[in-house]
A and B are shown apart, each in its own frame.
Chain A
Amino acid sequence: MNDDDILVEFIIEAREILDQLDLDFVQLEITPNDKKLVGNIFRAMHTLKGSSGFFAFKRLEKVSHAGESLLGKIRDGQLALDSQKTTILLSALDCLRSIIEGIEGSQTEPSGDDSALVEQLLALASGKGIEVSVPQTATPSAAEPASTPAPETQEPSTQSSIPPVTATTPPSSQLAQVDAGESTDEVWAPDPADPAKNQEVAAPVKVNLELLDRLMNLVSEMVLARNRLLPFTNQFVDHDFSSAVRVIDLLTLELQERMMKTRMQPISQVWTKFPRLIRDVSNDCAKKVSLIQEGAQTELDRTLLDAIRDPLVHIIRNSIDHGIEIPSERLNRGKPEMGKVLLRASHENGMVVIEIADDGAGVNYDLVRQKAIEKSLVSPQQAMELSDLQLLEFIFLPGFSTKSQVTNLSGRGVGMDVVKTNISNIGGSIDIDSKRGVGTTIRLKIPLTLAIMPALFIRCGSEPYAIPQSSVLEMVRLDLGADSTGLEDFYGTPVFRLRNQLVPLLFLNHQLDVNQEMPTSDAILNIAILQSSGVRFGLVVDEVLNMQEVVVKPLGPLLKDVKDFAGATILGNGRVALILDVDGIAIQSGMVAKIQSRPMNATSTEEKSYEEDVAMLSFELEGQSRLALYLENVERLEMISPKQVQRNGNRDVIQYGNDIMHLLYLNQYIEGAEGRKSPKNEDDVIPVIVHYTNGIPVGLVVSQVHDIIHVSKNLHEANPPQKGLLGCVSLNDQVINVVDLQEILMMRNLQENSKEYPAVIDMDLSS
């Protein structure tokens, strides 16, 4: 280990110590009599001092020494900890942190003058009160002894020879903190929610993040290589060969899973910073706020952890600054003086949901409405008609702030829009719910990992491209020959009509300069309806290929100027396919600006239609030609071949991605539907509506899928109740029966359960 390595170790260790100290101090303020905690803090500060002496970092040494002196007094019971001391000690921490950061950048200690801070620390240590410009200047408590001995100035020299070995930092080194250097990763982290615990744990292994990424890469390559190997087992009827391949197959799968696991880290690694943040912000606003954390052990991919850090900080600041009222106001409203901010993380349907809830005043809707009018976003008349939910949308607009005065905390109007962009950049979404006087809850939905996402593959020219599934609303085939309206021109933008709404079109081949071909007048266009930065548009592609999970890889510095691509992925055959950046394409085409200047569809009608209408998928079964299913129950549509259908016990299943999907023949559950005709030949395809129930796919087998329809929410209930039907709606004078999926799933489960007990075998309806 050379000197540089020792220095790197020192920086890592110092950061860990500082992070732990942050937590400990805030904890100490709550439980000021915790002797053990004070002891831990003292020891940590002491270690820092010893290490800095070893490296001859004079500033670091002086500040930590002064801090240690004060802490020593507190530990020995000569002084009591109060808010003023905590604030000074925390500012000492900040000073230490900035020095450490300086050292990290330049390998030498940055110059600077800390004498004022050191003096304050020493003055406090000697029992004198000080006058400083800290937000809370509480008078020193009366319990303080009148005179205290002068700080032991000899200590640095006696300690300077202690090398920075971990053994001297019993409590703080146990708390794993990732921030130590950009390239160092911490794979293991104990529960930081309980920092006072001190049990011995096996030392964690620190692994370079780059190494992890490289391993990850190799594993994905290994998976691809395995995929290429698998078909050979069918070609050679060699038992030994097949079993060897099977072993490789299993090992690769396990390797991949474990590898993914190494990148996962508990969200507590981001949260450890928040107790301190909340303390500082609430002090600045003169508010009292307590933080409650739930689900700190929820795991997320490391890159995502980094990405959510800033948005979370921003939201928490907002909660305290805008949300929580000042103590007197809270008391007036009959709330406890101490405001609450709740952080809760949990897994939900393969996503991580993070909730930030406060019990403050909630969003001031009247103020939002007024600001929206002031900024001429809506007319006063329109503003009055806007619902609370619509008003909340304004919060996410750039430059929108209800704070009339700019503070160092908030009010600059850069905020929630940035939060929203950051969250959508990582494939997440943000919801806000606010009740007047009760509080605001912000829900972030984040994918578990950035690295893998579902994507739709399309072809343009001779190359396949991937579109992130999160941006794809639906796929439409437009027959220009048959459709009477076809393409129209709206101020120079080609548009088409989709359910009476104008949708602007972009031709991917033009957009990517692949070729300049225009569709002939009788062509059939494949259009992917995409949603990007608030704009809905259709992307015309040459062919729709398949849906696949892809591993996203960055394009690298040489290609980062090309805004049309978000990255690339490696296909099963080893080729590279580019992933389209939907936002980038929309912005590059100039369409976003055009649409914002000339809205195509009067927004009022659109909103109205959303409020009163409900989207359904219409389909047919034999004997029941007009059926519909709520669109929210539909995940995907698939065409499967009868060859794919396999029997699993008494159920029909197919392999669906990595899952087994059960097939459910809807005609068996719906009154009036006839028995399904068995497919005439093997080339027939079976249309299947994929629905997810509790994360498990169920394939609803139908005869034909028609279209997405928007119908009135008013459902005419079936009277008397019909098996499998909720009721009916009318569309263009036609009656459409709406399927009761819950009932059907229940009927099926009843059957399934009953099958487990041979006594009720007669329930078997499957043909």
Chain B
Amino acid sequence: MSASTDFVTFYLGGHYFGINAADVLELNRNLEVTPVPKSAKTVRGIMNLRGQLVPAIDMYERLNLEAHAGKTESISIILQCDGFLVALLVDDVGEILSLDQDTFEPPPSNFSVISRELVLGVHKLPDRLLLILDPSLINQRSEKAKRNQLLLAH
């Protein structure tokens, strides 16, 4: 079976990511984020989406990415997962790609740059790799992420 899936693609720290378009509610530019003191590092703050409070995820922090010259985080991708809304702060969005299962592969084992737990796999595109993120994991701080934070804190 080679059903094709639509992916919303975006750029973050020089990497190219995709997320299943079915989970994406909308894209927004320059929503104001109110910081929440003492929250997890991965939560940048909270924003107002037409009267609903949406936590904004610091994707650099969440994916353990190094700061990058192109870091603007000016666009938020609003995801609906498990009935809750979350916003991913990303640098830029790309096209919506319709991709077949054929090009999909599990994440390579030497894949250390990014928290692997979030990456479902990669699509090999003609010119580059598209990392597919697991939306359900973004919403929760996994045990591993918590451990990492503890390690970083000490």
Contact = CB atoms under 8 A, between A and B. Distances in A.
A224 B54 CA distance: 18
Contact of B37 (A558, A561, A564, A568): A564
Contacts of A554: 53
Interface string B43-76: 1011110111111000000000000000000000
A565 B55 CA distance: 14
Contacts of B43: 558-559
A220 B46 contact: no
A570 B37 contact: no
B38 A512 contact: yes
Contact of A568 (B50, B53, B86): B53
B6 interface: no
B84 A513 contact: no
Given A463-B34, A575-B34, A578-B36, A559 B55 contact: yes
Interface string A522-565: 00000000000000000000000000000001111111011011
A558 B43 CA distance: 8
B50 A221 contact: yes
B80 interface: no
A555 B55 CA distance: 8
Contacts of A557: 84, 139
A763 B116 CA distance: 84
B37 to A, nearest CB: 4
A577 interface: yes
A243 interface: no
Contacts of B51: 217-218, 220-221, 224, 570
B107 to A, nearest CB: 25
Given A564-B38, A565-B36, A558 B139 contact: yes
Nearest to A574: B48
Contacts of B40: 558, 561
Nearest to A224: B51
Given A221-B51, A512-B38, A558-B86, A575 B46 contact: no
A463 B33 CA distance: 11
Given A559-B43, A575-B32, A218 B50 contact: yes
A638 B139 CA distance: 45
B39 interface: yes
Contacts of A568: 34, 46, 53
Interface string A460-474: 000100000000000
A149 to B, nearest CB: 55
Given A558-B43, A559-B55, A577 B34 contact: yes
Contacts of A553: 52-53
A514 interface: yes
Contacts of A513: 37-38
B94 interface: no
B36 A559 contact: yes
B35 interface: yes
A296 to B, nearest CB: 33
A67 to B, nearest CB: 39
Interface string A509-521: 0001110000000
Contacts of B38: 512-513, 562, 564
A576 interface: yes
A512 B36 CA distance: 9
Nearest to A564: B38
B46 A555 contact: yes
Contact of A217 (B45, B50, B86): B50
Nearest to B52: A217
Interface in A133-167: none
Contacts of A561: 39-40
A576 B94 CA distance: 29
Contacts of B52: 217, 553
A555 B54 CA distance: 8
A562 B50 contact: no
B48 A575 contact: yes
A574 B84 contact: no
Of A218, A220, A513, A559, the most chain B CB neighbours within 10 A belong to A559
Contacts of A217: 50-52
A556 B32 contact: no
A576 B53 contact: yes
A511 to B, nearest CB: 9
Contacts of A221: 50-51
B84 A570 contact: no
B36 A562 contact: yes
Contact of B55 (A556, A570, A574): A556
Interface in A559-602: 559, 561-562, 564-565, 568, 570, 574-578
Contacts of B54: 556
Nearest to A217: B51
A221 B49 CA distance: 10
B78 to A, nearest CB: 13
Contacts of A564: 37-38
Interface in A207-266: 217-218, 220-221, 224
Interface in B104-151: 139
Contact of B39 (A220, A224, A562, A576): A562
A513 B47 CA distance: 20
Interface in B81-95: 84, 86
Contacts of A577: 34
Contacts of A556: 53-55, 84
B55 A576 contact: no
Given A556-B84, A559-B36, A559-B55, A576 B48 contact: yes
A508 to B, nearest CB: 10
Nearest to A216: B51
B37 A576 contact: no
A514 B37 contact: yes
Nearest to A588: B38
A564 B38 CA distance: 8
Contacts of B48: 570, 574-576
Nearest to A558: B55
A568 B54 CA distance: 11
Contacts of A558: 40, 43, 55, 84, 86, 139
A253 to B, nearest CB: 17
B84 A576 contact: no
B49 to A, nearest CB: 10
Contacts of A562: 36-39
A168 to B, nearest CB: 36
Interface string A366-405: 0000000000000000000000000000000000000000
A559 B140 CA distance: 10
Contacts of B45: 576
A597 B38 CA distance: 27
Interface string A690-709: 00000000000000000000
Interface in A479-529: 512-514
Contacts of A559: 36, 39, 43, 46, 55
A557 B54 CA distance: 11
Contact of A512 (B37, B84, B86): B37
Nearest to A465: B37
Interface string B3-43: 00000000000000000000000000000101111111001
A562 B34 CA distance: 15
A574 B36 contact: no
A556 to B, nearest CB: 6
Contacts of B47: 576
Nearest to A576: B34
B132 to A, nearest CB: 22
20 contacts: A217-B50, A217-B52, A218-B51, A224-B51, A463-B34, A512-B38, A514-B37, A555-B46, A557-B139, A558-B84, A558-B86, A561-B39, A561-B40, A562-B37, A570-B48, A570-B51, A574-B48, A576-B45, A577-B34, A578-B34
Given A513-B37, A513-B38, A561-B39, 8 more contacts: A217-B51, A556-B55, A559-B55, A570-B51, A574-B32, A575-B34, A578-B34, A578-B36
Please list the 8 inter-chain residue pairs (A to B) with the smallest Cβ-Cβ separation, ordered nearest first: A512-B37, A221-B51, A217-B51, A576-B34, A558-B55, A570-B48, A553-B53, A576-B48
